[in-house]
Amino acid sequence: MSEASSEQMLAVLAEMRDLLRVIAEPAIAERDKKLREALRSIAGGGKGNRPRAVLLMDGTRTQAKIVEDCGIHKGQLSELVKALREAGLLKGDPKQPQLTISIPSNFFDDGEER
């Protein structure tokens, strides 16, 4: 298999994954309802630093990178990570936080259906 066809297959698979996420979102939301409510309670809503920081917690960024990317204060992020971990909303290394549930990018938008 050539490199070009491998890249094309990866692109198609990524697109399929994204479509499946859209289709599955209502079922995922129902399954994770209590955890999502806890997440909103801890992070708040709207466009503040805390919700933006949570959206960056995908396991690929360190806390320092999250601070840099969203402008949250280091101490606030540390408190947020601690609260999320205590609520069972984080997995893995807290230095590179990753949510235990999946959330859409518009999760914290005001007026969205929950």
CA–CA gap between residue 26 and residue 33 (Å, rounded): 10
Q: Which tokens belong to 16?
A: 């399929």
**What pLDDT is recorded for position 4?**
83
Return the axis-axis angle of helices 33-43 and 3-31, rounded to nearest 10°.
90
Q: What is the pLDDT of residues 40-83, one digit of tens each?
A: 999 987 778 999 999 999 999 999 999 999 999 999 999 999 99
Can you tell me the mean pLDDT for 79-88?
96
